[in-house]
Amino acid sequence: MTIQWFPGHMTRARRQIEDKLKLIDVAIELLDARIPLSSRNPMVDDILQGKPRLVLLNKADLADPAITAEWVQYFADQGLKALPMDASTGTGIKEILPRCKELLSHKIEAQLRKGINPRAIRALIVGIPNVGKSTLINQLAGRKIANTGDKPGVTKGQQWIKFGTDMDLLDTPGILWPKFDDQNVGMKLAATGAIKEEILHLDDIAFHTIRYMIDYYGERLMDRFGIGDLPEDTENPNEVIEVMETIGRKRGCIVSGGRVDLDKTSLLFLRELRSGKLGRVSLEVPPEY
């Protein structure tokens, strides 16, 4: 299955970001801590044109903490500051403004030496759909300003949001890129909910994700779904499908004739993965690890 999702408003959003870039002091790039590389738009480097950048690893409460620590070091090696956080609970939120001021310290100090009182930091927030931008904005504001939802594509336009006297934040719609050269990227994005389910074959997404979990988080599957044994050869698709059918039978996803409803099973599995009921799971590690 080939996964692509690039609605027209994403093209407009890119043009709008580029138009506003001259007003921006710092960019806040929001990634999914479970898939930091796959949730990173490869066009962003070109779009931001070298602006100082803070990377936020959102949904860190759902990611494997040991793997997240490796990602923080990975970004540090790239010359980028990365901050694990959880926009839904507010964990890590208070560190965002100090980190942005640190990135702009030379500019702020130069203004102070000239006797200029630094104005509010103008920050741009960018990220793919459903990565938590609107939730983050509402946490920063302490009230609901931006629309949120558990489906991608909620934010459709730009808006400036003022946070006290220290920061003005430009919210933008989530932007994917026109083509996934690596379909594994598309699978990971789909598994974490960044692509609309209506255009997906959920059984394919669940199949690939369960195969990964058998290899790296097998005990989570066994504990959560009461599975006795897992296959050793995940390259054999029949073995993985057998695990999917076991999950379906354990959860009552049965159709007439006693067959397992793989569509219902897949939806159930993905919902439990996304909600953290399978524990803290990271679906990729830094390239050098």
Residues 37-66 have pLDDT tens digits of 999 888 888 888 788 999 999 999 999 999
Does some domain include residue 126? yes
Query: How many separate domains does the chain show?
Result: 2
Q: Identify whether the C-beta of residue 231 lies closer than 8 Å to the C-beta of residue 214.
A: yes
Q: What is the CATH number of the domain that holds 237?
A: 1.10.1580.10
43 and 153 both lie in a single domain = yes
Does some domain include residue 165? yes
Does some domain include residue 73? yes
Does some domain include residue 47? yes
The model's pTM is 0.86
84 and 165 both lie in a single domain = yes
Does some domain include residue 148? yes
The closest alpha carbon to 188, from 64, 283, 286, belongs to 283
Tell me the backbone φ, ψ of residue 248, rounded to 5 degrees: -60, -45
12 and 127 both lie in a single domain = yes
Whether 69 shows a pLDDT value over 70: the answer reads yes
67 and 16 both lie in a single domain = yes
Binding-site residues from annotation: 58-61, 130-135, 174
Out of 192-196, 234-238, 254-258, least confident range: 192-196
Q: What is the CATH number of the domain that holds 50?
A: 3.40.50.300
Token pair, residue 160, equals 């400036």
d(CA 224, CA 165): 47
Domain extent at residue 125: 8-171
Tens of pLDDT along 157-200? 567 887 778 888 887 766 655 555 677 888 898 899 887 766 66
Q: Which of 171, 188, 213 is the last residue of a domain?
A: 171
Does some domain include residue 244? yes
Binding-site residues from annotation for GTP: 58-61, 130-135, 174
Tell me the chain's radius of gyration from C-alpha atoms: 21
Helix (H, G, I), strand (E, B) or coil at 125: strand
